[in-house]
Amino acid sequence: MLPHLLIVDDQEAIRLFLAATLEAKGYRVSAAGAGRDALALATADPPDLVLLDLQLPDMNGLDVLAQLKTEQPEACVVILTSFGRADAAVEAMRRRAFDFVTKPVNLDHLLQVVQRGLATRESDRRLRHRGSTADLFAMLPTAVPCQSVAMAPVYETVRKIAAGGRSTILIQGESGTGKDILVQVIHTNSSRREFPCLEINCASLPEQLLESELFGHEKGAFTDAGQQKLGLLELAHGGTLFLDEIGEMPLAIQVKVLRVLEKMTFKRVGGLTDIQVDVRIIAATNRDLAALVEQGGFRSDLYYRLKVIQVTVPPLRQRPEDIPALARHFLRQYNEEFGKRFEDLTAAAMAKLQAQAWPGNVRQLRNAIERSVLLEEGALLDVSGLHLDTDQADSPDENAQLVKWLEQMLTGPFPIAGLDLDSVALRIERAFIQKALKAAGNNQSQAARLLKLGRDRLRYRLKQYQF
């Protein structure tokens, strides 16, 4: 079923423009020009996500938000706000809005927020259908019920610290082990769950942009600062801020993060006023921070502040007994996405999976099962149907299999179980991005030109596909 979006804005031109844009992206869209009309529509046909303007002719947008959240707590609400209404946007975030987008709307940014909002809502929906933290691991994308001795203390520690208030947490482990999933579990089972859980990857942004994203900036703070911007620390007030790959954070920004941990205050870039926040910081890294401290690449005082509570996630190769449950979990997930009917893996296929080193950990296993389910048919997934070279971009054999499958789909009868068109389209898009990167010698700007994309749009897709 297509996600249902509700647009609430008093300007008809904006409603029509956003509706046309979002429908073209495959969403089902309703629209209302007033608060009471929006609430009536939401009652009759509950939306998955609401784009809500704060300036409405009959009601205050914040009151509409409050009533929506009272009647439909699971609704994901994104605020549309005009420049200069930063205080109202912050208040909306405190009232459990998911995010806000300023007008005039940047479509690429809006689409990213919508995608994140829908993904978060789906996770929240699943969480509400599970009773305990132990059950959460049965539904989260990269974790299943604990089978191994190695993961038992990790899960037990997470259960204990989820109930804590503001203690800082440091999660360590190799890439792909599911550190971000633990953050979701901690936040969702904490007293902060009604407030935002925001994330930033410290390795993906240059220093100035990272500083602006974290702390915000005042108008005129630097050349491109045409308006005031609220940072993630301010927007996460009351909730959780996840600093992923913190080992890559520049030293100059580390000083400012240390001050936040010590005093829970900060200044926006170019600002003079201290801003007080209440936020729990969870940091994650695949680096050895103690070694970085010795090398001078990470501040020792920040390191000791971060490691108030430590969680170390073991790599998959140290817990092969978890692989069968993980593999079956992903098999069920991609059966549903691709309209397949695999019942299980054969014993030989399972033994093959358990014999792998999995340098990419759970993420690599998930990708392998996804690829195998997409490209194969049948009731049992056997060794011959496993596609394990998930780190080999643009594999000729893999592309040949994909082309063969597409030909079968286009010329043969339509699958009785249906087809997840979005998943197939994303798979094809990923393959073309791989080819473009290879043709461009991994030069992102050149690859973007080959694909007729802006560089920022390509960078978003690279992050989405975890290149």
Whether pLDDT at 143 is above 50: no
Whether pLDDT at 141 is above 50: no
Is domain 319-464 in CATH 1.10.3720.10, yes or no?
Answer: no
Q: Where in the chain is the domain with CATH 3.40.50.2300?
A: 4-127
Would you state the pLDDT for residue 467?
62
Most confident of 75-89, 112-126, 327-341: 327-341
The structure tokens 């030293």 sit at 251
Whether pLDDT at 218 is above 60: yes
Residue 148, CB-side half-sphere exposure with 13 Å CA sphere: 19
Q: Which two tokens stand for residue 242?
A: 């996840």
pLDDT confidence tier of residue 171, bands split at 50, 70 and 90 = very high
Query: Structure pTM?
Result: 0.59
Q: How many CB atoms lie within 10 A of CB 108?
A: 12
Interatomic CA distance for residues 368 and 330, integer angstroms? 9
Interatomic CA distance for residues 6 and 15, integer angstroms? 10
| Mean pLDDT, all residues of the chain | 82
* Helix runs in 77-163, H state only: 86-94, 107-128, 133-136, 152-162
Question: How large is the average pLDDT for residues 16-28?
Answer: 90
Question: How large is the average pLDDT for residues 377-391?
Answer: 81
Whether pLDDT at 138 is above 80: no
pLDDT confidence tier of residue 135, bands split at 50, 70 and 90 = very low
Q: What are phi and psi of 395, to 5 degrees?
A: -65, 125
- CATH architecture under which domain 4-127 falls: 3-Layer(aba) Sandwich (3.40)
CA-only gyration radius of the chain, Å: 23
Which of 211-225, 418-432, 433-447 is predicted with the least confidence, judged by mean pLDDT?
Answer: 418-432
Cross-strand partners of 464:
none
Would you state the pLDDT for residue 389?
59
| Residues with Cβ within 8 Å of residue 145, at least 6 apart in sequence | 134, 137, 138, 325
Interatomic CA distance for residues 464 and 460, integer angstroms? 6
Cβ atoms of residues 58 and 41 within 8 Å: no
Would you state the pLDDT for residue 360?
85
For 315, 351, 360, 364, the CA distances from 356, given in Å and listed in that order, are 12, 9, 11, 11
Which of 57-61, 157-161, 207-211 is predicted with the least confidence, judged by mean pLDDT?
Answer: 157-161
Cβ atoms of residues 200 and 235 within 8 Å: no
Q: What is the pLDDT of residues 224-257, one digit of tens each?
A: 777 788 888 988 888 899 999 999 999 999 999 9
Q: Where in the chain is the domain with CATH 1.10.8.60?
A: 319-464
Cβ atoms of residues 277 and 264 within 8 Å: yes
- CATH architecture under which domain 133-314 falls: 3-Layer(aba) Sandwich (3.40)
- The helices-and-strands tally (H runs, E runs) of the chain is 20, 16
Interatomic CA distance for residues 65 and 89, integer angstroms? 12
Q: Where in the chain is the domain with CATH 3.40.50.300?
A: 133-314
Interatomic CA distance for residues 294 and 291, integer angstroms? 5
Would you state the pLDDT for residue 166?
73
